[in-house]
Structure 1
Amino acid sequence: MRIDLHAHSSVSDGTETPERVIDNAVAAGLDTLALTDHDTVGGVAAAAAHAPAGFVLVPGMELSCAYEGTSVHLLAYLFDAGHAGLAEELRWIRADRVTRAERMVRCLRDAGIGVTWERVSEIAHGTRGSGNASDGGDDDDVVGRPHIARAIVEAGGAHDVQDAFDRWIGSGRPAYVARYAPDPVRAVRLVRAAGGVCALAHPARGEGSATGPVPDPLVERMVGAGLGGIEADHPSHDDTEREYWRARAADLGVVVTGSSDDHGALTGHRLGCRTTAPEAFATLVAPATGATPITGGMRPDQATGLTGHG
């Protein structure tokens, strides 16, 4: 069984619709995929309805957190998206994403780059296919820096998306604006309170991030709060980093996960380039009570996987 627990669609900052992500996952030989768009489950229903018989979709999201200047990303799975505390936190995060993006556009325009908010919004919202919001209707507010980067390229301000980050919107660059992000320990507790389980994403470094690895003391506190896994096997980790985080997972008594962190064309369509062992997946999701994995072929009214069952 081939399991990939970290992938993005055009509902956040991937380039492919949720339906196309499923098609690509099947073509890559995957049996199980977690859809983990940033701070939203807005693509899960569409992905589930499109999944072929026998294919397993794990509802999830990637929560953007921060700790003392370090970016920390938390992969959350099988939570009840209607849980009041978690839903409120997600509304705050998504609202601030919009405010931040608007400020970045203003900075770019002040610098002479002809980017407009209208075009950024079109890029963010016009490529989502049939992905429908399923956690309160706020998912249209998910706007990320890759959308701004594409607008910069269109306006002639950069050669490609990576160049746009390097010149303008990467951390410390002229149009970069910080945004609200919850404390990682608090985020773990929120996910667990919502019946979900979680793993620490790419702890050695986030791709495109200027910050260093997640501090060990913080990881220990996250495990104490209920963190169940560490994504040691990630495409951005070299062999030394991968082995270090595998050892830390063993020391802390949590599972090792492996994932592609695929963003479609932005990352070279790499679904399945890293995978999670079936026994690690079973251990990770065993405590979940907020939702269940979705097997393809279910009726549309069954294919959300986002309501509590405990």
Structure 2
Amino acid sequence: MADARRFRGPVDLHTHSSVSDGTETPAELVRAAAVAGLGTVALTDHDSTAGWADAAVAAAEVGVTLIPGMELSTRVEFASVHMLGYLFDPANEALVAETERIRSGRLRRAADMVRRIGEDYDITWDDVMAQATAGATVGRPHIADALVARGFAPDRSAAFAGILHWRGGYYQPHYAPEPLTGVRLIREAGGVPVLAHPGTGGRGRVIPEQRLARLVDAGLFGLEIDHRENTQDGKLRLHELAAKYGLAITGSSDYHGSGKPNRLGENTTSPEVLDRIIEEATGAAPFYAS
């Protein structure tokens, strides 16, 4: 059994680096976690594990426990559903193939959106790539940053609320598997899946119970309930579902550096729940603080 006493300080299980859509490198993010007083932080970049190694080196330097993870893109029709996966095997062939397919879809989607936005605004693909670090999963956040840099939006949030909103006329979805496939892929890679911020639309738009039951049967571990974007009535419904299906409850910041207002440690997960995640995982191990 993992020893919860090894997690000195709060536990934040959802953060993003510049490998996906955060503004800090993996190492910078881990150092920021230490400054924020966290004892444990999970790196969960979108559809990528490319930041794990650098984050692990920084974690050893600053004395923070690192939980390697990822936020896997999944989709139900046109609705995006995000699945957090923790401590899975990053070399698992099926998961690697699927994330490569997702990233390729994101890139094609981004290029097409930029082409259409460029018909109405003076913005090019080069403007977008100037906002992305080498090897990053290029997507809408980088388009948003390019719009900000070109003066078409005051900040990333405004760009998402305006030009990049689905009502703006430029949005289009990208490829992503069904949530059920996402849960299975993470479990088959030895990881532990948690449904990310599933209460953002309120009680009436929480995942349908029948669908949730299928995810639980496939191995869903928990629900990320303590998250700033979940509404209060959404959280109430999620607590009901968690109790009914025996799901763990997690809390996280969903930190993106300066890309979002979310702050490290603003929501946290109990060491006991983290202990259970580590017990169930067989694909990878935490990088413990010395």
Q: TM-score, normalised by structure 1?
A: 0.86
Unpaired stretches in structure 1, ≥5 consecutive residues: 127-139, 298-310
For the Cα contact (< 8 Å) 1:85–1:190, is it kept in 2? yes
Using the alignment, how far apart are the partners of 1:106 and 1:28 within structure 2?
40
Using the alignment, how far apart are the partners of 1:17 and 1:26 within structure 2?
14
Larger CA deviation: 27-36 vs 279-288: 279-288
Q: State the AA in 1 paired with 2:168.
A: R
Q: State the AA in 1 paired with 2:182.
A: A
| Superposition map of 1:84-103 within 5 A | 84-103=93-112
Q: State the AA in 2 paired with 1:42.
A: A
For the Cα contact (< 8 Å) 2:157–2:260, is it kept in 1? no
Provide the residue aligned with 1:24 in structure 2: 32
Residue 35 of structure 1: CA displacement?
0.4
Using the alignment, how far apart are the partners of 1:243 and 1:81 within structure 2?
34
Larger CA deviation: 47-56 vs 83-92: 47-56
Provide the residue aligned with 1:44 in structure 2: 52
For the Cα contact (< 8 Å) 1:72–1:214, is it kept in 2? no
For the Cα contact (< 8 Å) 2:69–2:88, is it kept in 1? yes
Q: State the AA in 2 paired with 1:7.
A: T
Aligned to 1:76, the other structure's residue is in SS state strand
Provide the residue aligned with 1:106 in structure 2: 115
Using the alignment, how far apart are the partners of 2:64 and 2:156 within structure 1?
32
Using the alignment, how far apart are the partners of 1:116 and 1:47 within structure 2?
32
Using the alignment, how far apart are the partners of 2:212 and 2:240 within structure 1?
13
Residue 195 of structure 1: CA displacement?
0.6
Larger CA deviation: 258-267 vs 240-249: 240-249
Task: From 248, 252, 257, give the equivalent of 1:259.
Answer: 252
* Structure 1 residue 285 corresponds to structure 2 residue 278: yes
Provide the residue aligned with 1:172 in structure 2: 167
* Structure 1 residue 246 corresponds to structure 2 residue 260: no
Using the alignment, how far apart are the partners of 1:158 and 1:3 within structure 2?
34
Aligned to 1:169, the other structure's residue is in SS state coil
For the Cα contact (< 8 Å) 1:2–1:31, is it kept in 2? yes
Residue 289 of structure 1: CA displacement?
0.6
Task: From 104, 109, 127, give the equivalent of 1:119.
Answer: 127
Q: State the AA in 2 paired with 1:16.
A: E
Q: State the AA in 2 paired with 1:156.
A: G
Provide the residue aligned with 1:228 in structure 2: 221
Larger CA deviation: 237-246 vs 194-203: 237-246
Task: From 82, 93, 113, give the equivalent of 2:91.
Answer: 82
Residue 53 of structure 1: CA displacement?
5.6
Provide the residue aligned with 2:67 in structure 1: 58
Aligned length: 280
Residue 221 of structure 1: CA displacement?
1.1
**CA spacing shift, 1:31–1:42, aligned 2, 3 Å:** same
Unpaired stretches in structure 2, ≥5 consecutive residues: 1-8
| Superposition map of 1:157-196 within 5 A | 157-196=152-191
Residue 223 of structure 1: CA displacement?
0.9
Provide the residue aligned with 1:135 in structure 2: none
* Structure 1 residue 9 corresponds to structure 2 residue 17: yes
Residue 212 of structure 1: CA displacement?
4.0
Identical pairs, percent = 45
For the Cα contact (< 8 Å) 1:80–1:194, is it kept in 2? yes
Provide the residue aligned with 1:205 in structure 2: 200
Larger CA deviation: 80-89 vs 276-285: 276-285
Task: From 207, 215, 228, give the equivalent of 2:208.
Answer: 215
Using the alignment, how far apart are the partners of 1:116 and 1:109 within structure 2?
6
Residue 69 of structure 1: CA displacement?
2.6
Provide the residue aligned with 1:134 in structure 2: none
Residue 250 of structure 1: CA displacement?
1.5
Shift >6 Å, 4+ stretches: none
Using the alignment, how far apart are the partners of 1:220 and 1:121 within structure 2?
41
For the Cα contact (< 8 Å) 1:80–1:290, is it kept in 2? yes
Provide the residue aligned with 1:142 in structure 2: 137
Provide the residue aligned with 1:303 in structure 2: none
Aligned to 2:82, the other structure's residue is in SS state strand
For the Cα contact (< 8 Å) 1:48–1:296, is it kept in 2? no
